[in-house]
Amino acid sequence: MSESADILLRRIEAIDTAAADNRLRAESYQRMAEGLKDVVGAATSADGVVTVVAGSDGAVKSITFGAAVRTTDPAVLSSTTLRTIALARADAARKQAEVVRSALGDTKLLDQVLAEDRRVFGDEPPQEPATVAAAPPRVVRREARVEEEEQETAYRSRPAW
């Protein structure tokens, strides 16, 4: 075989190898995309009052309240619900990261995302918020100055001479 034919043959083999790698990479991306859209995260508060399911886009898919919701202070319920939503979203993000890791392997960006997730949420589950004593509702009353308004109305209703 001539030298130019040998070079051509190596180029064809390199192209075939690159094409096969591209097909494998495309299949991997397709599996990753399918896996990412199916990801859901879930979290339940420590007291079991609130359970949240979040989708891969962070949207809340459902919120379920346990029987103890009837005896839970509204302020505590509100903060517990918000916190549980955040935990469900974080769970979805972690699961997305695992899908990406399985498809692409370790990447610097993925490692940064997971490190930030650990920094924000920690390895230990965060503590439940302290019980907030319900303050009585504040009533604000405004006193209208009826006397001044009546004088102003009377002034306007007089004929101009």
- pLDDT for position 148: 52
pLDDT at 129: 47
Mean pLDDT score of the chain: 77
SS3 118: helix
Give bridge partners of residue 43 from the DSSP assignment.
52
User: What CA–CA distance (Å, rounded) separates 143 from 66?
Assistant: 44
pLDDT at 152 over 60: no
What's the pLDDT at 128? Answer: 46
Report the CATH number of the 38-128 domain. 3.30.1310
Q: Which residues contact 38 (CB under 8 A, 6 or more apart)?
A: 56
Where residue 150 falls among pLDDT bands split at 50, 70, 90? low
pLDDT at position 23 is 86
- CA distances to 28, 33, 160 from 96, rounded to whole Å, are 15, 10, 77
Domain range list for the chain: 38-128
- Cα separation of 142 and 148, whole Å? 15
Q: What whole-number distance in Å separates Cα of residue 112 and Cα of residue 129?
A: 28
Adjacency order of strands within the sheet including 50-55? 40-44, 50-55, 60-65
